Amino acid sequence: MKHYQIVIIGGGTAGITVAAQLKRKDKNLAIAIIEPSEKHYYQPAWTLVGAGTFDFKDTEREEADYIPKGVEWIKGKATAIDPKQNKVSTEKSGDVSYDYLVVAPGLVMAPELLPGLSEAMDKKVVCSNYTDPEHTWEVLKNFKGGNAVFTQPTTPIKCGGAPQKIMYLAEEFFRKAGVREKTNVIFATPGTVIFGVPDFAKTLNKIIKDRDIIFKPFYAPVRIDAENQDIYFKYIKPDSVHSFDEAGMKIGEEQLGNNEIKIHFDMLHLAPPQAAPKFIQESDISLKEGPGKGWVDVDIHTLQHLRFPNIFALGDVAHLPTAKTGAAIRKQAPVLVGNLLQLIRENKVGEEAYSGYSSCPLVTGYSKMVLAEFKYDNVRDSDPLISKFVDTSKEQYSMWLLKKYGLPFMYWNLMLRGKA
């Protein structure tokens, strides 16, 4: 059995960033990354791919080009973690043992959790930027009017703002294509508000009002009938019974009793349900009950495992009460690296603390963006430098340029190299 000082599960944003930062701090560390994929994707740009304003090929690079020098790449999937034996099982390379483990495999799409979705996914008028943004663009171009429904599941998802970003872009595209007047743009979400941080919600509420977007909160999707192009929702507002309003009549909602609603769609974009990988859910390192069931059980500030002190986790798989984004990883990685290195050197975790920072670059149209930055408890947390020059809670052309050009450059050249 091969042994490493540090094993990192996952060669995505989190795993590569941590490996690169560790090697920059101490080039003598013996590190291995377990990762099956030959390709590395810049997924934040998939929103723009879905709207026809970014080339999918430009979001893809060779994984091999980003494995830091001196780090061993174990190609294949991790299949089990035994934290008591300090061991990870892999698909092709047997078991590997570690002194310290960093868990960062990301999450997985779980369309099977929404009945009817697996059969409908990325076919005809059902699309998702999470899985096939090029199909989303085809759907938008072929759309001729009717109900354009945008929704998201009740599970945690990566980039919670993505389901509405494509809606804003689609709405503008429909205007350019001359079909907006015969289109109902509908955002149906299990959430209670358009966005959790009040400053940004104020801006977004004005946008949806000005652009005549129909907002349906407390709508949890429960099943899809792709053949008839109907989606069914459960109205989940506590102690409330669903009642029809003017917008509901306009879009042809049907009440089916017991707070179930049927909406016909002429196009449907959704974030599929998402979950922690099965080997994480089945491992002792995940929570076995409560709201964090299945996700990795870490201290929300130090990112150290709460039961196995030589294990850390970050990124989408960690049970942290903040949005699962690449921006969150950018702030989590140096905290984890600092704490892990101090644990190695002094047998105690360092003083580094993660405050829950995440950001959601909310693209609200072609050439407009609101940069929503926040930390734990939905407290606004804007970058001090950017906010000197620009109010990021308002739609800005400069923020659009940041999204389309600045952030991809920073990702490939700085973040994955351990420099940002």
Catalytic residues: 159, 360
CA distance 402 to 420: 16
CA distance 410 to 275: 28
Hunting for tokens 């409908």 — which residue is that? 120
Helix/strand/coil for 394: coil
Helix/strand/coil for 99: strand
Helix/strand/coil for 374: strand
Name the pairing type of β-strands 2-9 and 60-62. unpaired
Tokens of 35: 């990762």
- Using alpha carbons, select from 297, 263, 316 the residue that is nearest to residue 150: 263
What residues are paired with 6 via a beta bridge?
Answer: 31, 100
Tell me the Ramachandran region of residue 76: left when phi exceeds 0, alpha when psi lies from -120 to 50, beta otherwise.
left
CA distance 162 to 46: 9
